[in-house]
Every structure is written in structure tokens, then in C-alpha cells.
């Protein structure tokens, strides 16, 4: 891989080499995410994908929109419910929350790719 990159770097511009390598690296990263997500316990609904990293995440089901937020339920790796209630988005307004944009969950806050946060309504 290093020799291949060196060859591309010498013969093409750096930008062209980066474009050529971007697709294989993206595929590798997607494979790592699929492999690293935990297996789904029996009591977790199929429409609740794993969000976040393997160490900082949960299975999350986003339900109906409720005034300023969304009703959400979340389960840990063992299937224990750890999140239930209405959660509010602090960031760019959205009509829908895409679970693929959630990068981590620390037990109290969901963090999104663009820096937005989802916190429990009080």
C-alpha cells in the first residue's frame, strides 16, 4: 500500500492520488464499522440500529416527533434499556434525525457529525 501510494504520489499530483485512494479507504472504514458493531440482543427491535462507536454507543430507536424533540429509546449491548423519553436537538434544525449521523453517546448526550447534540428534555 505504501509503495502504491508512493508511486501515485510521484507520478500524479497529491490530490489525484488522494482521490484514487479515497474509495478503498472508505470501503475499509465501512467494513470496520459493520464488524465492530455489537450483535443485537433478542429484545432490541430490528429498527433500532447501533449508533456511535463500539465503546460509546447504543441501539437507538427514534420515535415520533414531540413538540421540540423526539421520543427515543435506547438499549446497551446486553439489551438493557438505558434511554427512554423525549430528547431535544441542540444544533442545526432538522425535520428528521438520521441515526447514521450520530457519532457517539456518553450516557447523557448523543453527539452528531456536525457538532450538534441531542440531550434529554427536562
Span 63-114, pLDDT tens digits: 999 888 899 999 999 999 999 999 999 987 788 889 999 999 998 999 999 9
State the pLDDT confidence band at 9, using cuts at 50, 70 and 90: very low
pLDDT at 6: 43
pLDDT at 112: 93
Percentage of the chain lying above the pLDDT 90 cut: 48
> Comparing 22 with 65, which gets the higher pLDDT?
65
pLDDT at 28: 47
Span 57-68, pLDDT tens digits: 899 999 999 888
Name the pTM for this structure: 0.66
In whole numbers, what is the pLDDT of the chain averaged over residues?
A: 78
Q: Domain spans of the chain?
A: 2-36, 50-120
Distance CA 108, CA 101 (A): 17
pLDDT at 35: 52
* DSSP structure string for 61-120: EEEEEETTEEEEEEE-TTS-EEEEEEEEEESS--SS--GGGEEEE-SSEEEETTS-EEEE
Amino acid at each position: 500500500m505504501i509503495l502504491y501510494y508512493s508511486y501515485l504520489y510521484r507520478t500524479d499530483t497529491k490530490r489525484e492520488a488522494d482521490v484514487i485512494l479515497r474509495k478503498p479507504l472508505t470501503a475499509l472504514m465501512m467494513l470496520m464499522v459493520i464488524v465492530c458493531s455489537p450483535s443485537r440482543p433478542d429484545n432490541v427491535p430490528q429498527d433500532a440500529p447501533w449508533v456511535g462507536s463500539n465503546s460509546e454507543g447504543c441501539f437507538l430507536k427514534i420515535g415520533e416527533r414531540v413538540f421540540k424533540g423526539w421520543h427515543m429509546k435506547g438499549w446497551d449491548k446486553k439489551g438493557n434499556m438505558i434511554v427512554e423519553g423525549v430528547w431535544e436537538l441542540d444544533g442545526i434544525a432538522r425535520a428528521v434525525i438520521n441515526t447514521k449521523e450520530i457519532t457517539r453517546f456518553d450516557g447523557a448526550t448523543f453527539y452528531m457529525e456536525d457538532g450538534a447534540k441531542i440531550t434529554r428534555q427536562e
